[in-house]
Chain A
Amino acid sequence: MALLPDSLRHVISLLAKLPGVGEKTAQRYALFLIAQGGELCSALGSELSALPSNIQPCTVCKGIAEVDADGEAICDICRDPKRDPKLICIVARVQDMIAVERSGAMRGRYIVLGKLLSPLDGIGPAQLPIDTLIARITEESIREVIVATPPSVDGEATALFLARELEPLSVTVSRIASGVPHGGDLEFADQITLGRALDGRRDFGR
């Protein structure tokens, strides 16, 4: 005899596909939903099934956009007229875009790559949206591109590669700095971060 009914086990195995959710947590979620009664289940169910048609990648930046009445998916950032139209920030994932956006220091718009170069996983230049990027830079006469990929091997390789691909265009390509967190004492910074901060030091510009 199985301890749990098949339909419940199926729900558990689906929940366990979510990142950070293991078998035990999935079981906890499923039992919680049952205990909550039908309302939460049907609300969650209908929202989830509508999700793919309501939310789609932004057609301009590949961020997240709500599909409007005309069936178009353009995100709020790309629609925002107050943004600097000549400045673009390249990030790897939507999460990174949200992080940069929260900083409040980025006044331009974005391009979400969706992936980073990673030969060991079979991801090469053909999988990166280089053509879209170049088209956008030329059509919108972009002035500066900030490459905000992570400081990992794949992130750095992608940044170097993009910088070289964009070299022929008349656009400034910059890389985000890496260093000491704000408000922290130097003694608490780890050695690698502090080393990077020293390598990337700059003069006062006088």
Chain B
Amino acid sequence: MTTKLSFVDLQIRSFRNINELSLTELGRINVISGNNGHGKTSALEAIYFVSTSRSFRAEKLRDLVAEGSEHCHVRAHISEGGYVREQQAALGPRSRKLQIDGAKTTKIAEFATKTPVVVFHPGDLLLASGPASLRRTLLDRVALFIEPPSAAHRRAYQKAVRERQRVLEERGVRASELFAYEELMAKHGSALSRARARAAERLSEALSRAFCRMAAPNLKLRVEYEPGGTEDPELFLKTLAERRVSDQQRRGAGFGPQKDELALSIDGRSARRHASQGQQRILALAIKTAELHCVREARGTHPVLLLDDVSSELDPTRIGAVYDFLRDTPGQVFVTTTRPNLFQTPGIDSSLRRDFRLDCGALVDAD
């Protein structure tokens, strides 16, 4: 059974270029318009932040805090299955505070799976053609929902990798404490590989289906998880011990899930190298559809979709594919656009649509 999930209202304070913004009576389709640099993407980012405790575009979370402010704060009321809860996320100079119905939580994975959101922003158009790290992040987002502890394994693994590397570089390949970090790498790294393999399997089915529907049906997409490590902790540990010298020389660990790739090929040719730009973009859209599908299946609820001005990057036929996608998504949607009049939502009851216009980070009357 799939339940309904939607934002009822949203308050944003000192967030990027938004000083104070309150969006109320949100609808099923929410169109946020305004000129560039007036806070549209910041509003989407705030929704993402209060749902996941993270950002989809900031390198450092600190960047979310408005210039001249110490804290940023986002509060939302979210309705799920008939119950309304309040979620808050705040960022201060030294801390991040997350609350659900007034109760603080430090369990990030639990918080981040509470209100599933899927974002599609212009940077995602590189999902098929860009660096492998984008596809690893994709796998991790899906893994978080099908196996929440995978996020803790990933954090512990990444820390152990850095610690081991420091020991290798400062105390050498015979340091007596090396094995301890390698054991932790093997434990958390193999668990992470296992979670990503499961995520890739789910994603692969949904992705092939979505691509087939959106691109030419005769094109055959193949999705394959190419692990950079192994799911076998003992083999992992053995390999790390063997690679101490080379990892020391190349100043980085050459084995492990940080080398994972989700390989995509169309008719047997690598999508990354050979697909046309149009194919890569449609593939990116298909990946997002698949992510939405996987999160919905795992979480039992329709994720909220955040679409950040994607239409400006696509040609008319592909924009059509985006609209189809919107129509077929039963969940709540937030869209940003510079030209709200061009944003048509055929097939969707106009009473379900709400328009918000932003100017200098504040709400003005939508015309």
Tell me the A residues contacting B by CB distance below 8 Å. 117-120, 124-125, 153-154, 156-158, 160-161, 164-165, 190-192, 195
- Does residue B134 face the partner (Cβ distance < 8 Å to A)? no
Known: A191-B110, A192-B148. 11 other contacts (CB 8 A): A119-B167, A124-B171, A124-B175, A125-B176, A153-B156, A153-B159, A153-B184, A160-B180, A161-B176, A161-B177, A190-B107
Q: Is the interface of B mostly helix, strand, loop or mixed?
A: helix
Interface check B166, CB cutoff 8 A = yes
Chain B hits for A118, CB < 8 A:
163
| A192 in contact with B181 given A124-B171, A153-B159 (CB within 8 Å) | no
Within 8 A of A (CB), among B161-176: 162-164, 166-167, 170-171, 175-176
Given contacts A119-B170, A125-B177, contact A191 B149 (CB under 8 A): yes
| Complex contact A157–B110 (CB within 8 A) | no
A120 and B110 contact, CB distance less than 8 A:
no
Contacts of B66 in A (CB 8 A): none
CB pair A161 B166 closer than 8 Å: no
Q: In the complex, A92→B103 CA distance in Å?
A: 29
Question: Do B184 and A156 touch across chains, with their CB atoms under 8 A apart?
Answer: yes
Do the beta carbons of B176 and A157 come within 8 Å of each other? no
Looking at the assembled complex, report how far the CB atom of B152 sits from the nearest CB atom of chain A, in whole angstroms: 5
Task: Known contacts A119-B166, A119-B167, A191-B109; decide if A160 and B149 are in contact (CB<8 Å).
Answer: no
- Do A117 and B171 have beta carbons less than 8 Å apart? no
- B147 → chain A, closest Cβ, in Å? 9
Give chain A nearest CB distance to B289 CB in angstroms. 27
Partner of B179, one of A153, A158, A164, A195: A164
The CB with the most chain B CB atoms within 10 A, among A117, A157, A158, A165, is that of A157
Is B109 touching A160 in the complex (CB atoms < 8 A)? no
- How far does the alpha carbon of A56 sit from the alpha carbon of B17 in the complex, in Å? 52
* B297 in the interface (beta carbon within 8 A): no
**Which chain A residues lie closer than 8 Å to B170 at the CB level?**
119
Q: Is B305 an interface residue (CB 8 A)?
A: no
A117 and B180 contact, Cβ closer than 8 Å, known pairs A153-B163, A191-B109, A191-B110: yes
Given A119-B166, A124-B171, A157-B148 contact (CB < 8 Å)? no
Contacts A118-B163, A120-B166, A190-B107 given: A161-B152 contact, CB under 8 Å? no
Q: Which of A160, A165, A190, A191 contacts B184 (CB 8 A)?
A: A160
Q: Contact check: which of B109, B152, B171, B184 meets A157 at CB < 8 Å?
A: B184
Report yes or no: B152 in contact with A192, Cβ–Cβ below 8 A. Answer: yes
Q: CA A156 – CA B188 in complex, angstroms?
A: 12
- The reply to whether B110 and A160 form a contact with Cβ atoms under 8 Å apart is no
Within 8 A of A (CB), among B129-151: 148-149
Query: B183 in the interface, Cβ–Cβ < 8 Å?
Result: yes
Residues of A within 8 A of B149 (CB): 191-192, 195
Q: How far is the CB of A167 from chain B (nearest CB, A)?
A: 12
Contacts of A120 in B (CB 8 A): 162-163, 166
Chain A: which residue is nearest B163 at the CB level? A119
Which 9 pairs of residues, A with B, have the shortest CB-CB distance?
A: A119-B166, A160-B180, A157-B180, A191-B148, A153-B159, A161-B180, A119-B163, A119-B167, A192-B149
